Amino acid sequence: MEFADPYWFWALIIVPVLAGLYIYRFFSGRQASLSFSSLDQMNDLPGNWKSHIHWVQAMLIWTGLVFLIIALARPQERLTTVERNAEGIDIVMVLDMSTSMLAEDLKPNRFEAARQVAKDFVDKRETDRIGLVTFAMKSFTVVPPTLDYRLLKQLIDDLEMGVIQDGTAIGMGIATAVNRMKESPAESKVIILLTDGQNNAGEIDPVTAADLALTYNIKIYTIGAGTRGTAPYPIQDPIFGQRYQNVQVNIDEEMLTQVAELTGGRYFRATDSEQLESVYAEIDELEKTEVEELIYTDYEDKYPLYLSISLILFGLSFLIKITITQTITPLD
């Protein structure tokens, strides 16, 4: 509740002043006009309730005055409407699913770490359409850009290694993502590509695919996932079961940098799980959706309610005066 003219509250000082004057006049004016030798015989006379009704009348007037002053202060209720306009971004995450993603330099392995940070990234978005493309020897659209984040995260959980023939078709992964977004009316279109190797399959090389992305004004962020040097890789031995072998980490950073910079994006290297999380967090900050807020404020006057209560109280006081406490003026 707000008041448009709060200075009227200073007038409340009048109420206790009037009440004090009334009480003073009432008690100071109670002087006997007749003398009696004794009033003992009047002690048992029943009282007249009408002799006290003047207090009710006075209370009605004072309370009515309080409500009148509140009405003059113009109580108002603020009504605020916020209109949000968000220009969403279309994002396609492109995930490498070649068997080298099972290396355990990222914990628990590259694939599981990439899957988790992808879901965390989705959780931070609100108005963006997000899709998922996977690639190994070939590339596939898991889900086109969508606002159904629950479905998207479920499909990320359902991904399985080995379903796609092994290989690393980075160019095809980019091209598939471009194909999914080329007709999008979104003002901003982004591809986030994560891989741990070099392009060794597919009909389109990554730089050519990046040129295609540039044609459709699509920005590419590339991420190289893997430590430097060698990484432990699980191998199934028919005799000894699972064992680990250190394999060389070969990420074509020069190509990934060229692809990113060609489209206005950036290349990131994630050598452990914590770095991978920070990379996605940085991309999240770089690609913030602009939200425009228009705030409309209106005020609804509440003074009619207080004014009505004041008039009712004054009316009741007047009604008591003319029906119960009115005095009869004697005739000359």
- The token duo for 245 is 């072998």
Question: What is the β-pairing status of strands 267-270 and 218-225?
Answer: parallel
Q: State the virtual CA torsion across 135, 141, 147, 149 in degrees, nearest 10.
A: -50
**DSSP codes, 192-259:** EEEESS---SSSS-HHHHHHHHHHTTEEEEEEEES-SSEEEEEEEETTTEEEEEEEE----HHHHHHH
Could you tell me if 84 and 292 are in contact, meaning their C-beta atoms sit under 8 angstroms apart? yes
Residue 30 above 70 pLDDT?
Answer: no
Minimal CA–CA distance to 198: which of 100, 92, 94? 100
Q: Which residues contact 295 (CB under 8 A, 6 or more apart)?
A: 80, 81, 82, 83
Model pTM above 0.85: no
Q: What is the rounded CA–CA span in Å between residue 272 and residue 256? A: 18
**Distance, C-alpha 21 to centroid of its chain:** 57
Strand (E) or helix (H) holding 55: helix 53-72
Residues facing 296 on adjacent strands: 81
Q: What is the rounded CA–CA span in Å between residue 180 and residue 209? A: 13
Residue 200 above 70 pLDDT?
Answer: yes
Instruction: Write out the E strands in 36-151.
Output: 75-86, 89-96, 129-135, 139-146
Taking residue 289's Cβ as centre, other Cβ atoms within 10 Å add up to 13
pLDDT attached to residue 37: 54
Could you tell me if 317 and 57 are in contact, meaning their C-beta atoms sit under 8 angstroms apart? yes
Average pLDDT over residues 266-288: 91
Residue located via tokens 């602009």 = 290
pLDDT in tens, 128-163: 899 999 999 999 999 999 999 999 999 999 999 888
Residue 286 above 70 pLDDT?
Answer: yes
pLDDT in tens, 227-273: 999 999 998 877 777 888 999 999 999 999 999 999 999 999 999 99
Residue with more model confidence, 249 or 41:
249
